Amino acid sequence: MTDKPKVGVYICHCGINISSTVDVEAVEEFALKLPSVKVARTYSYMCSDPGQALIKEDIKEQGLNRIVVASCSPRMHEPTFRKAIQEAGLNPYFLEMANIREQCSWVHEETEEATAKAKKLITASVAKVRLLEALEAKEVDAEPAALVIGAGIAGIQAALDIADAGFKTYLVEKTPSVGGRMAQLDKTFPTLDCSACILTPKMVDCASHPNIELLSYSEVEEIGGYIGNFDVKVRKKARYVDFDKCTGCGECAAECRVANRIPNEFDQGMGKRSAIYLPFPQAVPAKYTIDPENCLYLSKGKCGKSPKCQDVCGAEAINFEQEDEIVEFKVGAIIVATGFDPFDASRKPEYGYDDYPNVITGMEMERLVSASGPTGGKVMISNGEEEIEPKEIAFIKCVGSRDESVGNEYCSRVCCMYTAKQAHLIRDKLPDANIRIYYMDVRAFGKGYEEFYDRVRRENVRYIRGNPSEIFKRGNKLVVKAENTLTSTPVEDEVDMVVLGVGLEPRAEMRKVMDLLRLSQSPDKFFLEAHPKLRPVDTATDGVFLAGCCQGPKDIPDTVAQAKGAASSALIPLARGKVTIDAQVAEVNEATCRGCGFCVEICPYTAIEMTTVNRFGHEVEVARVNEALCKGCGSCSAACLSDSIQPKSFRDRQILPQIAALGVLK
C-alpha cells in the first residue's frame, strides 16, 4: 500500500428505514472526525443511481481511495457498491459496508442507542477499510454441462430447457421412473387437464433428448469442486435387470411369486405390485426393476425351484449378479429439484387416519379417482365392514398446514385448490353424493383459481367454515365433530368417507442433499433461497439453484416457472463458458511459513499443498494455496502457528483494528 488512505463514508437514510431511528446527520458529523476520513455524506438512497453517482464523483474529484457505505447488509448490496467504485476506477475490494439497517435501525428502537451503535459500526468499518488490499477476481473455465437432481416436473422442465439450449444435462432421479408427484395426480386444477396427458410427453422427451443423460434409480453420492467445476459422483443402483435387454413387456411381473402382494408406492399403498415391477404404466424409462427387499431370491436366496421372472424373460434381461455402478462426471452448475412429501396424516391422531380405512389423504384420493388407479377410477371405499360407494363425503382442509401444533405455520398453497378439484371429480362420478368441505379460509389466488372455486360451489359442494376437532366412529359411519364458526353452532356430521387435505412438507431425506451441497433450510424447513424476493432460485452456494417444491409448496404452474428460472440461471455460467472465482482466498507468506503443514490437514477443500522453495540458499517446505480450490473460510489461518497463512480481506491486520476500534468506543 503506497498511497495513504483517503476514506469516504456514505450514510444511507434508506428512505426512513434507517433515518427514522439513526440520527444520520450526527453520524455524518462523527464520521468526519475519524482518522483518514476525508468525506462523509448522507443520502436518501445510496444504492440508487444518484446515490452511486455521489460516491463516484467524490472518488474522482476528492481522490478518495477507500469507501465505507453505511446502509443495509453487505449480503444485500456489497456487489452493487463494489461495481460502483470499480466504475469510478477504484479496486472493487476497497469497500467496507457498515450494516446499520438490518443489524441496527431495524432492531433498536431508541434513537440514542441506534445512533451510538451506528457510530461504532462505522468506526470499525473505517478501521478495516484503511487496511484493505487491492484484489483481482480470477476467471476459470466452466464445464459446459449441468446436473439436475430430482426428476419431478421441476427437474424435467429444467433439464429440458438446459438441454434445448445445447448443453449436456445429467438428470438424476432416485426412483426407477421420472415424473415425481405430478405423475400420481389424476386431473390438474384449474383446467382439469389430465396430468398424465401433459406430463408423459415431457417424460419421454427427457429420456430421448440427445443432450440429456438420464440416470434413473440413482443417487448423488459426492459433490466436490465449485461453480463451473463441480465433480459429481452418482451411484446407479442395481435394478437386477439388464437395462439394454429389457423390453418392458411385463411377463416377469405377471409371473412373480409375490405378484400383487407388495404395496405399490405409486398408488400410495392402495394397489399392489410384484417384486419385479414398473412403478406405473407410463413409467420412463419403461424398464423393470427388482425390489431387493421383497424379491424372494434376493432377500432369502431362494425362489421356488428357480426365479420365475428369469424363466419367462425371453430377452434374458434378469441378472441377479448385477451390482451398483458408480458414474463420475463434471458439471458447471447444479439444480436441486427434489420436491416434497405429503404431510403424514398419522401426526394428527384426532382424525383417525390410522384407525379408519375410510379416512384417506388427498394424495390417496388422487389415485382413487384415477382411471389407472387401484379401483380403475371407481370411488369405492371400505367402511371397516364392507366396500361401499360413499354417499356422504367430507373434506378437511389445512391438515398439517397452518398448524403450529405440528410445527408447520405455513400455507401449503395447493390444498384449497386440489380439494376443490377432487370435490368436482367426485361430483362427476357420484352426482348424488353429498359433498362438504371443512375449511379455515379459501385461498384461490392463481390464474383461473377463483373461477374454478366458484364453479365447484355451484356444483352443489357445501363449504362449511370450521376446523374439525375430531373424527370418531358411530355404527358404520364416521362422525366429523366441528364448530361451524360462521353460525357458531356445533356440528356432528355423519359421513361415509373423509378426505384429509394434507399439506406439503420437505422431503424426509433432504438432509443428504443439504449436506452434499451445503444448503440451508428456511424456518419452514424447505431449502433456503439466497434472497426471498430477488434471488428466489439461487442458493448461498454459487452455481447451485433451486426449482419446485423443494424450495416451498407450489402448484404446477409456479413449479414450472421456477424450473425455467433455475434453468436460465444455471445457463449463465455454461453459456459464458467462464466463471469468476472469488478473490478473497488465503495466501501464504512463504518467508515466515514454517512448513508444519497444519493448514494442509485442516483445509476442508484440499486447497493447500506443501511445496519446496529456496529460502536463502536452503531448500525448505512451505505451504501453498491453490486459489481455484480455496473458498476463503480462513480455518487454516486460525490454526497457523506463525500467522503466515491469511485470508485476503480477512487478515489479522484487517480484523484486529476493527476489534480495537470497537474497544476505544467503550
Cis peptide before 190 (omega within 30 of 0): yes
Q: Is 46 left (phi over 0), alpha (psi -120 to 50) or beta?
A: alpha
From the list other proteins, ligand FAD, none, which binds 273 (C-beta under 5 to 8 Å, kind-based)?
none
Residues 465 and 467: their CA atoms lie apart, in Å, by: 7
How far apart (Å, rounded) are the C-alpha atoms in residues 344 and 346?
5
- The span of 149-157, 266-274, 396-404, 431-439 binding ligand FAD (CB under 6 A) equals 149-157
**Shortest distance (Å) from residue 71 CB to ligand FAD:** 36
DSSP states of 610-651: EEEEEETTEEEEEEEE-TTT-----HHHHH-TTS-EEETTS-
Cell of 67: 469507501
554 binds, among ligand FAD, other proteins, none (CB under 5 to 8 A by kind): ligand FAD
Report the site for other proteins in 511-550 (rule: CB under 8 A).
514-515, 518, 520-523, 528, 540-541
C-alpha cell at 350: 384426532
Closer residue to ligand FAD (CB): 459 or 627: 459
Q: Residue 664 binds what, of ligand FAD, other proteins, none (CB under 5 to 8 Å, by partner type)?
A: other proteins
Amino acid at 264: N
For residue 623, the cross-strand partners are 610
Phi, psi (5° rounding) for residue 233?
-125, 125
CA angle 141, 146, 148 (to 5 degrees): 155
Q: How far is the CB of 395 from ligand FAD (least distance, A)?
A: 11
Count of chain residues binding ligand FAD (CB under 6 A): 38
647 binds other proteins (CB under 8 A): yes
Q: Which is nearer to ligand FAD, 9 or 207 (CB)?
A: 207
Q: Which does 513 bind (CB under 5 to 8 A by kind): other proteins, ligand FAD, none?
A: ligand FAD
Positive or negative, the CA dihedral 442, 366, 204, 148 is positive
Interface region with other proteins, contact rule CB under 8 A, candidates 113-121, 234-242, 497-505, 557-565: 113-121
Task: Print the binding letters for residues 305-344 with ligand FAD: x by CB under 6 A, - otherwise.
Answer: --------------------------------xxxx-x--
Q: Comparing C-alpha atoms, which of 561, 563, 518, 562 is closest to residue 539?
A: 518
Rounded Cα–Cα distance for residues 580 and 574 (Å): 12
Among 118, 555, 607, 625, binds ligand FAD (CB under 6 A): 555
Residue 173 as a binder of ligand FAD (CB under 6 A): the answer is yes
Q: Which does 73 bind (CB under 5 to 8 A by kind): ligand FAD, other proteins, none?
A: other proteins
CB nearer to other proteins: pick between 75 and 391:
75
Q: Find the helix packing angle between 74-87 and 49-62, rounded to 10°.
A: 50
Closest distance between other proteins and the C-beta of residue 565, in Å? Answer: 21
Residue 552 contacts ligand FAD per CB under 6 A: no
Partner from other proteins, ligand FAD, none contacting 523, C-beta within 5 to 8 A by type: other proteins
DSSP string, 133-195: -----EEEE--SEEEEE--SHHHHHHHHHHHHTT-EEEEE-SSSSS-GGGGG-SEETTTTEEH
Residue 518 beta carbon to other proteins: minimum distance, rounded to whole angstroms: 5
Between the alpha carbon of residue 247 and those of residues 149, 241, 242, 250, 486, the distances in Å are 26, 10, 10, 8, 59
The residue ranges that bind other proteins (CB under 8 A) are 35, 73-76, 99, 101-104, 106-109, 113-114, 116-117, 120-121, 124, 127, 514-515, 518, 520-523, 528, 540-541, 584, 602, 604-605, 631-635, 637-639, 647, 650, 652, 655-666
**Residues found near ligand FAD in the complex (CB under 6 A):** 149-155, 172-175, 180-182, 185, 188-189, 219, 337-340, 342, 362-363, 366, 414, 418, 421, 507, 513, 548-549, 554-557, 559
